[in-house]
Copies of this chain bind each other. A is one copy, B any other.
Amino acid sequence: MFQFIDGGICAAKGFTASGIHCGIRKNHTKKDLSLILSEVPANAAAVYTTNLVKGAPLLVTKSHLADGRAQAILCNSGNANTCNANGIEIAEAMSTLLADELHLNPNDVVIASTGVIGQPLDIAPIKAGIPALIAALSPDGCTDAAEGIMTTDTVRKEVAVSFELGGKTCHIGGIAKGSGMIHPNMATMLVFLTTDAAVSPALLQKAISNDVANTFNMVSVDGDTSTNDMLVLLANGLAGNTEINTENEDYSIFMQALNTVTVALCRMIAGDGEGATKLLECKVSGAKDLATAKTVAKSVITSSLLKAAMFGADANWGRVLCAIGYSGADVDVSKIDVSFRSSAGEILVCQNGSGVPFSEELAKTILLEHDIEILVGLNSGEAASCAWGCDLTYDYVKINGDYRT
């Protein structure tokens, strides 16, 4: 039904993108400024971090998106522009500089920043870089844009799918940056999505708000909810479909296409968590309700002890039970089953809340794979959920022991 295609955020009609090194970062080989442009104004929707400490770019973007419209996304890496006395001023200046060059209304510019918190962001390199950034705009620019928003990410994150709405071929694409300070709460890390499907601003907001609750908000790398989390979706309508403005069948198809893109990005973000050597997926089934399933899945994926055990390929399932027990979810411990699964096989390690004999050798073989599923059966209902995370490794400590300097 949905076909993965190349092109990322430029897969949708009418979108171009670029990414350059403008000088915010000292390392000249790292891009630090990205631009995404729709050739026509687009409907726009966003979700933001729930952290009380919010980056200045979020406040500016929220104000710009009040009318549900935007045409460009400008994002820098290397500096979060957060906890700076002049942060709002700088973020507004970024909007105005770009808008002037592109002859847009500054209100139609989305601004995002990611990087170190609390260091003044110099506007000079951004101002100097904008003409080159605009000159570099291209339908093949997704890769550059995806690289320009990376911080400690080791791989760029881009995805796109095509699907049909009323006989018209539509596309949704996205890029993301993840790695650290990843524990989204009603929002997400930086994710920029584009689509050429026509969707009203209200339905666009509903679509991403509903989707994020089951995708990005179920990802955790380190338990730290960032100050700069933001997801923005631009829908320029150039696919020519009838605009979606009710929860009809087209909306349902759009939601599924969107979910295909966001789940792919969730897996990329979790698997490339800071220092990660493994992608962990905790799949909870048999919960009495969705809230219980989500609470249990997220608690397991967030446990430092379990994450360290997975790094060591150690089938220490007691830590799964422990994390379920302190999650706050109301579960019957005596009914819990736990299995580990990977491409190397599946092994039951706990049944009805107690350990069962199992082959340590097989368990090790399963856990030495890169993609690990932790299967939790609560045997108390029909609800299910999935959370994504990664292992806790020496490199997480190394990366974060000296990030600023």
**A197 sits at the interface (CB 8 A):** no
Shortest distance from the beta carbon of A282 to any chain B beta carbon, whole Å: 15
**A359 sits at the interface (CB 8 A):** no
A397 contacts B318, C-beta separation under 8 Å: no
Closest to A317 in B: B118
Contacts of A50 in B (CB 8 A): 326
A314 contacts B402, C-beta separation under 8 Å: yes
A-B contact pairs, 30 of them (CB 8 A): A50-B326, A52-B325, A52-B333, A53-B321, A80-B318, A82-B318, A83-B321, A83-B350, A84-B354, A116-B316, A117-B319, A117-B321, A118-B321, A222-B305, A223-B302, A224-B304, A224-B305, A224-B319, A226-B322, A227-B321, A227-B322, A304-B396, A308-B401, A311-B401, A312-B403, A314-B403, A314-B405, A316-B403, A393-B397, A397-B397
If A318-B80, A318-B83 touch, does A326 touch B118 (CB 8 Å cutoff)?
no
Query: Chain copies in the assembly?
Result: 2
B400 contacts A322, C-beta separation under 8 Å: no
State the CA gap A295–B119 with chains docked (Å): 26
If A224-B326, A400-B309 touch, does A405 touch B118 (CB 8 Å cutoff)?
no
State the CA gap A119–B355 with chains docked (Å): 7
State the CA gap A404–B396 with chains docked (Å): 22
A53 contacts B324, C-beta separation under 8 Å: yes
The A interface is mostly helix, strand or loop, or mixed, namely loop
State the CA gap A270–B12 with chains docked (Å): 53
Contacts of A397 in B (CB 8 A): 308, 311, 392-394, 396-397
**A36 sits at the interface (CB 8 A):** no
Task: A52-B326, A52-B333, A117-B316 given; name 8 further pairs at CB < 8 Å.
Answer: A51-B325, A82-B318, A83-B355, A225-B325, A304-B304, A308-B396, A314-B404, A314-B405
**A368 sits at the interface (CB 8 A):** no
State the CA gap A308–B277 with chains docked (Å): 18
A304: which of B83, B321, B400, B403 is its contact (CB, 8 Å)?
B400
State the CA gap A83–B355 with chains docked (Å): 7
B225 contacts A326, C-beta separation under 8 Å: yes
B118 contacts A350, C-beta separation under 8 Å: yes
Closest to A117 in B: B318
Closest to A180 in B: B305
Contacts of A262 in B (CB 8 A): none
Shortest distance from the beta carbon of A112 to any chain B beta carbon, whole Å: 17
State the CA gap A353–B326 with chains docked (Å): 33
If A318-B118, A394-B394 touch, does A222 touch B405 (CB 8 Å cutoff)?
no
Contacts of A83 in B (CB 8 A): 318, 321, 350, 353-355
A303: which of B223, B324, B393, B399 is its contact (CB, 8 Å)?
B223
Contacts of A319 in B (CB 8 A): 117, 224
If A51-B322, A83-B355, A85-B354 touch, does A402 touch B312 (CB 8 Å cutoff)?
yes
**A65 sits at the interface (CB 8 A):** no
**A181 sits at the interface (CB 8 A):** yes
* Residue among A117, A314, A317 facing the most chain B CB atoms (10 A cut-off): A117
Contacts of A331 in B (CB 8 A): 52
A222 contacts B333, C-beta separation under 8 Å: no
Within A168-187, the residues touching B (CB, 8 Å) are 180-181, 183, 185
Closest to A116 in B: B318
Contacts of A350 in B (CB 8 A): 83, 118
B222 contacts A53, C-beta separation under 8 Å: no
Contacts of A226 in B (CB 8 A): 322
State the CA gap A225–B302 with chains docked (Å): 12
**A199 sits at the interface (CB 8 A):** no
Within A350-366, the residues touching B (CB, 8 Å) are 350, 353-355, 360
**A323 sits at the interface (CB 8 A):** yes
A118: which of B51, B118, B354 is its contact (CB, 8 Å)?
B354
